[in-house]
Amino acid sequence: MPKENVLKLEHVTKIYNGKIPVVALSDINLEIEDGELIAIQGPSGSGKTTLLTIMGTLALPTKGKVYIYGKDVTSIPQKEISKIRNNYIGFVFQSYNLIERLTVLKNVELPLIARGVGESERKRISIEILEKLGLKDLIYRKPNELSGGQQQRVAIARALAQNPKIILADEPTANLDSKSGEIVLETFKQANKDFGTTVILVTHDMDVANIAQRKIFIRDGKIIDIK
């Protein structure tokens, strides 16, 4: 029985208008199934991050359709798009985006606070995820007391706290040394395997791409190969 498509892009084009219009993406067609671990690969300026922002509904295409679990997010109000994003998508960025004054536990709780989850329940969920990712000993530390790799793993835990169907990660190991990067990649693999989360990694790094089940190669805003 075929798996359900979590993401589907049909003829997606993105043009940034200025004095000289820039075509960032051109006629992208792509289907991603539930539970896949995908790498989107390409050089700087190829359109990888633009593609990620459109997948994550942070931007809309100039032309084309984007479906999340069969729902066309290009034809609904922004309020509904935000609801879909909050319910289905978690983000991990290369800059971690942790709040320095908060402990690891409180950082992981943040998306649950935004959802209105009660204090005891969000604490239980957050500790459980941190334990599963081997971060229990860090829960009362603050970000400036952690290594870069530890901070990125906390950022993954924060994304998982929402119980997202999809995690989108933009160059998640770019600021890390090779050993820390390996540990972070293992954390993504664990999220994919143990939580059943669809993981989409945007990268120019072959080592990152090699953990993926499927690689999508993009250049000059176009998909040039899928392996």
DSSP letter string over 144-211? GGS-HHHHHHHHHHHHHHT--SEEEEESTTTTS-HHHHHHHHHHHHHHHHHS--EEEEEES-HHHHTT
Number of structural domains (the chain) is 1
- How far apart, in whole angstroms, are the C-alpha atoms of residue 100 and residue 92? 17
Rounded to whole angstroms, what are the CA distances from 186 to 26, 92, 174, 193, 214? 33, 15, 15, 10, 17
Residue numbers of the domain that contains 28: 5-226
pLDDT at position 136: 92
Rounded to whole angstroms, what are the CA distances from 83 to 68, 73, 114, 158, 183? 12, 11, 12, 18, 32
The predicted model scores a pTM of 0.92
All residue ranges of the chain with pLDDT < 50 are: none
The secondary structure element, H or E, covering residue 32 is strand 22-33
pLDDT at position 1: 53
- How far apart, in whole angstroms, are the C-alpha atoms of residue 91 and residue 105? 18
User: What letter would DSSP give residue 4?
Assistant: P
pLDDT at position 12: 98
CATH code of 110's domain: 3.40.50.300
pLDDT digits (tens, 9 = 90+) for 145-198: 999 999 999 999 999 998 999 999 999 999 899 999 999 999 999 999 999 999
